[in-house]
């Protein structure tokens, strides 16, 4: 009963503010204020306020909210653990086998054979030539990247 009275008072006050706003020739704002002020009385008339009042005072409803909170906490915890482990894409052995297969297939951009297989690795590679720090070298890297992407 008190909730219905409060909602009615809020609606009447809002409609009063809407009338004052319309008197100031701000009709669009007045219409918006009137729409907002009619919501509480509409909720009372449809019975939503009574249902909420009954729910707020019901121990069964609060126990239900507790169960929903526990379910949400369990769901969040399992998602966090799943992300930390790396997903649910299979067993650990399957993931390791897939990683080994991907490592075998890795190829350097200019190589004709897989660069990571032990059979094709040279025992002692030649020393790399020292790179110049000039701006021509930087532009050469940029040109190589652009050519690689077909630009």
User: Model confidence over 108-129: pLDDT tens digits?
Assistant: 555 555 555 555 555 555 555 5
At which residue do the structure tokens 């918006």 appear?
A: 32
Please report the pLDDT score of residue 65 as a whole number.
86
DSSP structural state of residue 122: -
Identify the residue with better confidence: 116 or 68: 68
Distance CA 82, CA 10 (A): 48
On whether the pTM is more than 0.85, the answer is no
For residue 107, the 8-state DSSP code is: -
pLDDT of 107 over the 80 cut: no
Task: Categorize the per-residue pLDDT at 104 as very low, low, confident or very high, splitting at 50, 70 and 90.
Answer: low
């Amino acid at each position: 009963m008190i909730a219905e009275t409060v909602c009615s008072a809020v609606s009447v006050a809002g409609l009063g503010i809407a009338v004052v706003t319309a008197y100031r020739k701000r009709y669009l704002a007045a219409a918006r204020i009137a729409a907002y002020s009619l919501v509480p009385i509409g909720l009372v008339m449809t019975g939503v306020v009574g249902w909420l009042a009954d729910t707020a005072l019901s121990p069964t409803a609060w126990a239900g909210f507790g169960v929903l909170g526990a379910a949400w906490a369990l769901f969040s915890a399992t998602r966090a653990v799943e992300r930390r482990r790396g997903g649910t894409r299979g067993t650990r052995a399957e993931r390791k086998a897939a990683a080994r297969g991907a490592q075998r297939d890795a190829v350097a951009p200019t190589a004709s054979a897989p660069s990571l297989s032990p059979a094709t690795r040279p025992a002692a590679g030649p020393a790399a030539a020292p790179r110049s720090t000039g701006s021509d070298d930087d532009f050469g890297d940029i040109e190589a990247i652009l050519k690689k992407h077909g630009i």
